Chain A
Amino acid sequence: MRIGLVCPYQWDVPGGVQYHVRDLAETLRGMGHHVEILTPAVREESLPPDATFAGRTVPVPYNGSMASMQFGPVSAARVRRWLREGNFDVVHVHEPASPSVSLLVCMIAKGPIVATFHAATTRSKWLAAVGPMARPWLERISGRIAVSDFARRVQVEHLDGDAVIIPNGVHVEAFTHGPSLPGFARGRDGPTIGFLGRYDEPRKGLPVLLEAMRTVVRQHPGARLLIAGRGDAADLRELVGDDLRPHVTLLGELSEPDKAAFLRSVDVYCAPNLLGESFGVVLIEALAAGAPIVASDLDAFARVLEDGAAGVLVRRGDPGALGRALCALLADPDRRAELSEGGPRAAAAYDWAVLARRILAVYETVVPPDGTVVTAGEDDDFPAVPPARRQARTSPRRWAPR
């Protein structure tokens, strides 16, 4: 199958959607399909050989976060060329409800389009504003996928559509096997508890975990907390306080291989998040790496941890309960070994190989039996100017000064 994937966010900026597209492309290619990617980027040179540069995005501050926009004749021309040269059986766009290259593809492509919706709660106001305007083009999507129940609900509420749920994937194998961080081998170098994420964001729950650590070190004086992620180190030092300082190690931001090594090293992985998290990818990675998990009882976490069968769930924002759960798990090597062993099995349902097959089933469902390919529509279908005034003219002129 010839598949065209469209990523609306800049390829060389780290982000969940970018990783999703990259991993999906890699997996599909491994299964023998022809995959091409269309994506914006900060630097064109950073793209892999099978990706096509779609221009740069313009960041627009909206509702406290940055939405990236990309629109205009140059981008449209790039999209049109990519579609015409690609001869795809199916085009798969991501996050098409914002003014991005994904929406452009929906406007221009003729043929089967599949769309994946990622946004959960944070961007929904943006969606509420833009979604209805994009509707005429979103109508062209033949198959809609949501990565989580939350993403699907956004879709139902703001865009009045429905979607099949296929979650985010993880390369389970890459997390299960590999080296551990030097000096922190699991089960040997003293009990360690791992935390990963932006530690200066209160909703990630680090203050709760630090409070719980005070209980933990009273019972396990050798216990250490390893913190990985981005944030302000000076603020963290203040937050940790003198009593905990010898027990806390800041690792900073980790590369992908180091992150896997980190998850393979910790004796317990802790996700004390207070809210948000539409989907716990990092929990699946921790499961795959065989890290016993203590997590707060968010819906998304409870689902990944099979309601407590694959990890320990504690009430969110309760340092006492978290401390007790951590102590109990550190004191029980059998339970840890059991969780550690079951982890990769629980993560297997989220392995890319499994999910890519489900996404392929979606492709096969929307591709018509006669095997027509996706092409670019004539210029007339292009935005805002209704086709009533359709005339033979080329697209750039539409934006030319009159």
Chain B
Amino acid sequence: MPDAWMLLAGAVLLLLLAWVAWTLVRLSRLEARVARAWTVLDTQLQRRAGLAEELARHYPGALGDQRAGALAAVAAAARAPADGDREVAENALGRELRDLPSDLSGVPVALQTDLAGTTTRVGLARRFYNDAVRDTRALRRQRLPRLLRLHARRPLPRYFDIDDRLEQVAGAGRAGHRSAVR
């Protein structure tokens, strides 16, 4: 019965090929999604740093000179992180922005709402980026893609972890366990 075996082997091979092609489509789609999400996150982070710089440069009176100096320094560091660790630099900027006095009299309302809106969008963009990274890693880690070395030469995308207090901007508990503590 060699014919039957050949047929079976052929069918299996065909199925495997189909699966590989399908998985490659998924992987490249995920790669594009990660890239898109990163573009958005990067844009929002740059924007946040820009607005913080503007605030520090033009309205030192509202912040106090010392705070304005600190804010300008962390904003500059976030734009061009010295040791290349962007997460640390962005965290420092985020912390400085959260510690701003709640009463920013003298600062135009437009700038304040812009800053608040950008902070929210940083939180959203980061979550969506990490979502895309998680989906990619889940597929890359599956047994068959690993065995067949699909996309194995490309770097595994990294999570971007900063403390953006998303539970505040996104309205509710960050994780299930957090809400249980309530």
Contacts and interface: CB of A to CB of B under 8 A. Distances in A.
B176 A160 contact: no
Interface in A127-181: 136, 139-140, 142-144, 148-149, 152-153, 156, 160-162, 164-167
A162 B130 contact: yes
Given A160-B138, A162-B134, A165-B171, A365 B128 contact: yes
Interface in B133-167: 134-135, 138-139, 166
A386 interface: yes
A366 B40 contact: yes
A73 interface: no
Given A362-B124, A386-B18, A162 B131 contact: yes
Which 4 residue pairs of A and B lie closest in terms of their CB atoms, listed nearest first?
A388-B21, A386-B22, A388-B18, A386-B18
Given A164-B127, A164-B170, A368-B40, A140 B29 contact: yes
B27 to A, nearest CB: 10
A167 to B, nearest CB: 7
Given A162-B130, A362-B124, A366-B128, A386 B21 contact: yes
Interface string A371-402: 00000000001000011110000000000000
Contact of B131 (A152, A153, A161, A387): A161
B21 A166 contact: no
B139 to A, nearest CB: 8
Given A167-B171, A365-B125, 17 more contacts: A139-B33, A139-B135, A142-B33, A142-B132, A149-B172, A161-B131, A161-B134, A162-B134, A164-B127, A164-B166, A164-B171, A165-B170, A165-B172, A365-B124, A387-B22, A388-B18, A388-B20
Given A149-B176, A164-B170, A166-B170, A387 B25 contact: yes
Contacts of B128: 142-144, 365-366
25 contacts: A139-B26, A139-B135, A142-B33, A142-B37, A142-B128, A142-B132, A143-B131, A144-B131, A148-B172, A149-B172, A149-B173, A149-B179, A152-B176, A156-B176, A161-B135, A164-B124, A164-B171, A167-B172, A303-B172, A361-B121, A365-B44, A368-B36, A368-B40, A369-B39, A389-B18
